[in-house]
Amino acid sequence: MSIVWGKQKKRSARARATRIGALPLTSMIDVVFLLLIFFLVTSNFAQQERELPSALQTEGGGVRASDLQPQVVEIRMLDGSPVFVIGERAVRTRVDLQALLSQLPKEPGVAVKSDPEVPISAVAAALQAARDAGFTKRSYVPQNAP
């Protein structure tokens, strides 16, 4: 008796819902999931990769556009941390290197070379500092590894 009563109640409720025009739940969930995926994907793309362009130069001559000798930034390791050396001067931080490079003439360009054990982050830092200091001619001189 009670089962029949429940069935009847359910049917009437459904009939009422369609009469009003209820939202189709399945497609709604579909769209909501799509939105979710969309925002997941776009938030992942927020951390886009950048790049630091530079030229390659071989040790001792090679192809050189001008006769001017580029200033050389050497990266060495000292007490476990990288040190940037330009001529006589040595600096430890990227900010100091950029300040030092911005005083130099830009026309000859800058060449970066590093000791084998220097982390690549220091190489990238030197190239970034040269770029920020206004050098357009930046080159990297790979050392012949043993």
Which is closer to other proteins, CB of 4 or CB of 31? 31
**Total binding residues for other proteins by CB under 8 A?**
48
The Cα 29–Cα 61 span in angstroms is 66
The angle, 0 to 180 degrees and rounded to 10, between the axes of the packed helices 94-102 and 120-132 is 40
Is residue 43 part of the contact set for other proteins (CB under 8 A)? no
Of 88 and 117, the one with the shorter C-beta distance to other proteins is 117
CA pair distance 2, 31, nearest whole angstrom: 39
Q: Does residue 2 interact with other proteins by CB under 8 A?
A: no
Check residue 71 for interaction with other proteins (CB under 8 A).
no
CB closer to other proteins, 2 vs 24: 24
Task: Assess 58 for contact with other proteins (CB under 8 A).
Answer: yes
Structure tokens at 135: 């050098």
* The one among 73, 75, 83, 133 contacting other proteins by CB under 8 A: 75
CB of 136 to other proteins, least distance (A): 12
Q: Tokens representing 68?
A: 């001017």
Taking the C-alpha atoms of residue 66 and residue 19, their distance in angstroms, rounded to an integer, is 83
User: Which residue in 52, 30, 22, 31 sits closest to 125, CA to CA?
Assistant: 52
Site for other proteins in 101-140 (CB under 8 A): 114-125, 127-128, 131-132, 140
